[in-house]
Structure formats: structure tokens, C-alpha cells
Amino acid sequence: MHLDALNQTDQTLLDGFPAVESQRFRAQQAELKVVGLFAGIGGIEEGFRQAGHKSVLLCENDSAAQHVLKQRFKKTPVCDDVRELQSLPACDVVTAGFPCQDLSPAGRCAGIDGDESGLVSSVFRLLRDRRKSPTWLLLENVPFMLRLNKGRAIEAIVEQLENMGWNWAYRTIDTKAFGLPQRRKRVLLLASKSEDPRPYLLASDATPRTLVTRANHACGFYWTEGNTGIGWAIDSIPPLKGGSGVGIPSPPAIWFPKRRLIATPTIGDAERLQGFSRGWTEAATKTSRGARLRWKLVGNAVSVPVAKWIAERLSKSLNPYDPNGDTRMVSGQSWPDAAWGRPTGRFASDATSWPVQLEHQHLASFLSRSVNSLSLRATNGFYTRLQASGLRHEAEFALDLAYHIDRMKDANR
């Protein structure tokens, strides 16, 4: 990306962000009132609750997800269509993990104007119509939104915020940073009309943990792939997916080298891989195809500890953000993994996808219940595609795939 070096005397930094008292940001109130739009099964809202905050309204149109929300947030009203929501109740935070179907490489790639992802426009309508703005807006979506159509989606979002006079910052965050064995990157955008979001979202940074060699660790991959990639992840799983629109589960597969086993996690462990308690989505089984839809609900959710980390920081007094090293962005260039701005300027941040580095939980030991063997048909299909593709892979992995197929054939005789 072509960038101009940030000048310490740049007036953009001096006239746009709220003044600080005694070089520290003032402490936020102990309990923030949260409105959750596109709430799904409440990943963001559960993170905020664990941090001591309270949801006052949830909005979600998926009937299976509504059952989960009504069970897990019993005292919180749930509405079903953000387009029909006329106004926001008194609140401090509006959260919106808006639909990613049009912004995901696995989706339609229709962009921010698509029928699903375009619903984020309702968030801005509600914010504009409110006389007193909530202090914070938190948006969440997939990192591909920064690349699709040269970042048209993030451009449209920050342009809306800037036109409303809001300060914003976004960052790509990996769930693995919080110790969960799932490689899952998502863009979190924090904005405010009265506060500086940078200290809360960008100031904390840690060194990403990487595994160079597999050793005997369990490895996750997608058995639905095999032609152009497999989503390989050492000692973790690739991102949980929402699956098909009709609720056909698409859990990742796991190779256990020590056991020569190819398996998939249970739905209970999938919930835990997102930071929920086991059984969080059981209420969804009250709907048609509910048992299968649980995989979609969990795959579409926001990881709870990521939301909790942000929520906890919003309750703290933090030092001002140091912009040293940040660089001014040039219009029309690629969007970085982290950035911040206001109407008078946009800047790239070098914040990594690891804001913290919590103790890593090894995948094999994290899975507390028995796993499900990958079916003969699924394993055979993946193995065939992998062999035909020419993709690089470990010889031992291929041998164990073949071993698993033979074992499943024997079991079916």
C-alpha cells in the first residue's frame, strides 16, 4: 500500500479526537446498556455480559437463533426484523455482527449492496434517527470484506461513520489469541462520536504464536475441500462455518496422528470452540431441522472471548493511543488489517491480529467428549479430490486417510 509517513504535528491527530484528562481516558460507567442487532446466538452480547454489562434489546430474524436468545437472555426483549425497528432504546453500546454472506469468499460475493450484508444500512438509519447517540458502535464481519471489490464494503461503512461525525478504528482479530484452538480471523470495528476508539481496540498487542512443525499435534482441515485447498490448521481447527442455507452441517475434520483417526468434533465441542458453554444452542432443536441448524448457528457466531476482551476494555481507564509508526492512507489503495480514522483523515495501524496471547489449549485435549468418525463417503471423497489435485500434503496424512477408509469399509461389512 502506498502510504505517507505520519507527522507528529499532523493536525488530524490534534483536532479530531476527544481531549484527555491527566493523560488518561476517563473510566467508563460500570454497567453498559447494550443493544444487539443481528445478534445471532448472542456471541457478542454474552461477551459483554461476562464483562458485567447488560443487553436491553436483541434483534435477530432467524427463528432457531431466537429460541437460543430467549433461553439465554430471558429478561431481554427480542425483536425479529431490524428493518422494522423504528428506534433504539436508551443504550450505551450498539453491536452488530451483520450478515457476511455477501462478503465471504465462500458466499455470493455480492458485496455491501447484497440483500444480506446490505442490511447493515439499518444500523446507520437507527443511529441517525436517535437524538442522543449511544457512546459506542461495535461491528463485526469477515476479513474478506477488506479485499472484496477493493474494500468497497469497509469504504462504505467508514464513509457513513465519517459523514455522521464518528471516530472509528477497526482491527482483524484471531480467536486463537484467546487460547481457543480455532484459527478464526474476524474484523472488529469500534466507533464513537464522543470517544477515541483507538486505545480500546488498537493499543494492546501481542506476538502471534505459530507452530512451525506438526509434531504429534492433531490437525484440523475441511473435508469438503481438496481441490484448491484444505484449510490446514496445526493443533487447531480452521474457522467453523455456517454450513448450507438449509442447515446441512459442515463441521471441520480433525486428523489425530497418534490414533490414526479422521473425525469431526461434536456440536458441544464446537460451541466451546467459540467460547460458549456446552449446550448453548440446545433450544434451537425446538425448530424444524433444529439439530442440524445448530452447526450453522455456531459457525456464524462471534467468538465470546473476543467480545469480552473489548467489553472489559470499555470499562477501564486507558492511556491515550500512541500513533507513532502509523501511516496515512491514500484513497483508492488496499485496506490494511488494522486502521483508524475520522472525517479529516485515515491511517493504517500496525496492530496485529493478536491483541493478547492467552495460554493455548491443545486441540486434542480441548475436545472433552468423544469425537465422531468422519464417514466413509466423506473421507473417500476428500481423499480422491486431494490425490487428483496435486496439493502439497504430508505423506503420513495421506496414509492415515487411506487407513481410515479401509477401517470404515471393514466396519460396514
Q: Is pLDDT above 70 for 247?
A: no
pLDDT beyond 50 at 104: no
Report if residue 297 sits inside a domain.
no
Mean pLDDT of 241-253: 73
Helices 290-299 and 63-72, interaxial angle, to 10°? 80
Residue 343: what pLDDT? 87
Nearest to 148 by CA among 187, 121, 182: 187
Which stretch of 24-28, 133-137, 166-170, 205-209 has the lowest confidence by average pLDDT?
Answer: 24-28
Cα–Cα–Cα angle for 169, 5, 322, nearest 5°?
45
Average pLDDT over residues 32-43: 97
Please name which of 120, 117, 176, 198 lies closest in space to residue 303, comparing C-alpha atoms: 176
Burial of 365 (0-12, 13-18, 19+ CB in 10 A): exposed
Which range, 20-29, 244-253, 319-328, has the best average confidence (pLDDT)?
Answer: 319-328
Euclidean distance between CA atoms 252 and 4, whole angstroms: 42
Q: Examine the pLDDT at 304 and tell me if it is beyond 90.
A: yes
Least confident of 130-139, 156-165, 174-183, 245-254: 245-254
In the annotation, is 100 catalytic?
yes
pLDDT of 205: 95
pLDDT digits (tens, 9 = 90+) for 336-388: 999 999 988 999 999 999 999 999 999 999 998 789 999 999 999 999 999 99
Q: What pLDDT is recorded for position 391?
A: 94
Query: All 3 cell numbers of residue 344?
Result: 479529516
Residue 248 maps to a domain = no
Residue 413: per-residue pLDDT: 74
Please indicate, yes or no, if residue 269 is contained in any of the structural domains: no
Is the full-model pTM beyond 0.85? Answer: yes
Number of Cβ atoms within 10 Å of the Cβ of 386: 20
Average pLDDT of every residue of the chain: 88
Residue 79: predicted pLDDT: 95
Residue 13 maps to a domain: yes
CATH number of residue 56's parent domain: 3.40.50.150
Catalytic residue among 91, 100, 109, 219: 100
Cβ(120)–Cβ(157) under 8 Å? yes
Output the CA torsion sign for 163, 102, 351, 362: positive
Note the pLDDT of residue 288: 82
Q: What is the mean pLDDT of residues 241-245?
A: 66
Q: Tell me the mean pLDDT in the region 139-144.
A: 92
Answer yes or no: is 355 within a domain: no
Asked if residue 107 has pLDDT above 90, the reply is no
pLDDT for res 311: 98
3-state secondary structure string across 29-55? CCCCEEEEECCCCCHHHHHHHHCCCEE
Which domain, by its residues, includes 73?
A: 3-208+302-348
Q: Angle 395-412/376-389 helices, nearest 10 degrees?
A: 150
Residues 6+ apart with CB under 8 A from 159: none
Residue 216 falls inside a structural domain: no
Query: What is the C-alpha to C-alpha distance for residues 186 and 37, in angstroms, rounded to an integer?
Result: 17
Indicate whether 399 belongs to any domain: no
Assess if residue 239 is contained within a domain.
no
Number of domains observed in the structure of the chain: 1
Residues 6+ apart with CB under 8 A from 304: 43, 46, 47, 50, 274, 275, 276
Strands 78-79 and 93-96: unpaired
Position 18 pLDDT exceeds 70: no
For 92-127, give one letter per residue: b (16+ CB within 10 A) or e: bbbbbbbbbbbbbeebeebbbebebbbbbbbbbebb
